[in-house]
Structure 1
Amino acid sequence: MRVVPYNITGCNDSIVEMSKVFEYTAVDSLKNSLKNPRQKFRFDTCRFDFFVYKVYFDDSDEELFFFRKSKNFKTFQKGFVGKLFEGRFKKLADTNKLLATDETIDFVLNDEDIYIFQHLSFERVFDLNSEFSKQAKMVLDLVEGSSKIEGFDELRKSAMENGNYVKRLAKLNDGENANTATLFLKDLSQTQKVIKEFNLDIEVDITKNKMKFKDESQTSSYISLMQDAYYETLIGKAKGIDERR
């Protein structure tokens, strides 16, 4: 399978994403906790998040960690589960002690690299959504600083209430895209051309050097402008939007 850099806004099927361990403090915290594990009593499987398989090599100091997001057993609280014993069905009284896994692996990490097979599982295991929100707010602060968007508070509220929008904004806070978020505000006449070309319902006042946010129906379009996501292909001159930029 093809290996590509991890993209928080999503990936195609049959792709392995790769990231670096040092980029996530949660990874270091987990690996340190595994060096001195503690036994947990009064275990509740409904609060069990994931399995970790630690693999050793006889001829090396290298260790591999395989992760699998756990199954949700809350459904057993509404019904019942049991087993056949000597021709009779016997109900299991305490389903809070049941665990299960399968043959699937969500992601693997070693000392340096993380290989991601299941995008969402990786993000949920390490609770990356809180980090995405933090990065998204930094991008919105940068855009707000230009003072060129009327109704920006409503735009911020609409963007932060949608997980997909938050991820798209968060990606704009990395090194490669650091200056992209405010690019559409530097020359509003050029931005107005894009708005007309793609028939976007966004009002631009060139004389006042202002744009206006009307309602949440415009949120995705504004974020696409921040991403510089509108494009035209070189050969076929086909126009499109790349929301994963």
Structure 2
Amino acid sequence: MIKKFLLKKQDTELVRYSPTRYPNEGQSAFCDIDYVGNFDEVISSFNSPDEVDTKLKPADISFYCFMISDKNKTFEYKLFRRTTKFKKLSTGNILAAFFSGNELCKLSQDFFGVDGYIDLICDNKTIYIFNNISLERIFKLKEQFTSKATEALDIIEKAHGIANFEEFKDDCLSDSRIHKTLCKILGNIPDLDKAFENFNNIKIAIDKFDLDIEVDDENKQLIYERKKQRKYILHIINDAYCQSIIKGRDILNED
């Protein structure tokens, strides 16, 4: 089953993973293993079979992994899949029943299924991603997004470009979607501390795109007043308001 799934993916176009958008149809994402902060920790957890908790319930297992290699380990691939939990396989009180010889065996406990799909494939350098959510859940990227968001906000604060910054910061940190946006900005903008230096151009963008933001000309700051403004300010920081070269159209570039 897994082979059939992988054959369907062999001609997939690869695009770099983005925490803020999913690949288009016919595309799959990839990222370097270094992008995942706890990759080695997750892999090392497979290397202690003597410490396996045999009392684990299926509901406690969030993913499984197949490791494929040759005898000399000249290559090794790790195939990850989030677990599929089957709480009920029938409408009655019996979850499932199978014959063992002539005896009908009743299964009354929860269990999880192994299917023919794969969410992630890893070699020693790259993670190939067929399910973005699985990458985030298996490698606990939520914590990483929060940490990176805080790091980005600390840099933005030092740029002194936003009035009422503490309110802006609190509103950003209260929204996990904004965490991903800030994580992406931190990776894309090497001079984040200079985000507000071209303040006249920022005012032009606010006017052209009719953004609901007031400015403090004297202090060269954007005045943050409400949550709706977070996306506009983050677009400004990300230099996302552009003009096309050929037709001179105003464009919001969210890549």
Normalising by structure 1, we get a TM-score of: 0.86
User: Given the alignment of the two structures, is residue 122 of structure 1 paired with residue 135 of structure 2, yes or no?
Assistant: yes
Contact 2:97–2:107 (8 Å) recurs in 1: no
Residue 182 of structure 1 and its aligned partner are, at CA, apart by 4.2
User: Given the alignment of the two structures, is residue 24 of structure 1 paired with residue 36 of structure 2, yes or no?
Assistant: yes
User: Given the alignment of the two structures, is residue 204 of structure 1 paired with residue 219 of structure 2, yes or no?
Assistant: no
User: Given the alignment of the two structures, is residue 235 of structure 1 paired with residue 246 of structure 2, yes or no?
Assistant: yes
1:186 to 167, 186, 197: 197
Which 5+ residue runs of structure 2 have no aligned equivalent? 1-11
CA distance in 1 between partners of 2:136 and 2:74 (Å): 28
CA distance in 2 between partners of 1:122 and 1:80 (Å): 35
CA distance in 2 between partners of 1:150 and 1:143 (Å): 12
1:55 to 68, 86, 101: 68
Q: How does 1:1-245 map to 2 (within 5 A)?
A: 1-13=12-24, 14-37=26-49, 38-58=51-71, 60-73=73-86, 82-83=95-96, 92-95=107-110, 98-174=111-187, 176-179=188-191, 181-244=192-255
Q: 1:143 to 1:60 in 2, by over 3 A?
A: closer
- Paired residue type of 2:233: Y
Q: Which runs of 4+ in 1 moved over 6 A?
A: none
- Paired residue type of 2:29: E
Contact 2:159–2:195 (8 Å) recurs in 1: no
- Paired residue type of 1:193: I
| CA RMSD, 1 decimal | 2.6
Q: 1:61 to 1:147 in 2, by over 3 A?
A: same
- Paired residue type of 1:220: K
Contact 1:107–1:114 (8 Å) recurs in 2: yes
CA distance in 2 between partners of 1:147 and 1:124 (Å): 35
Q: Judge which range, 31-40 or 150-159, deviates more.
A: 31-40
Percent sequence identity is 22
Q: 1:75 to 1:242 in 2, by over 3 A?
A: farther
Q: Judge which range, 60-69 or 231-240, deviates more.
A: 231-240
Residue 177 of structure 1 and its aligned partner are, at CA, apart by 1.6
Q: 1:58 to 1:18 in 2, by over 3 A?
A: same
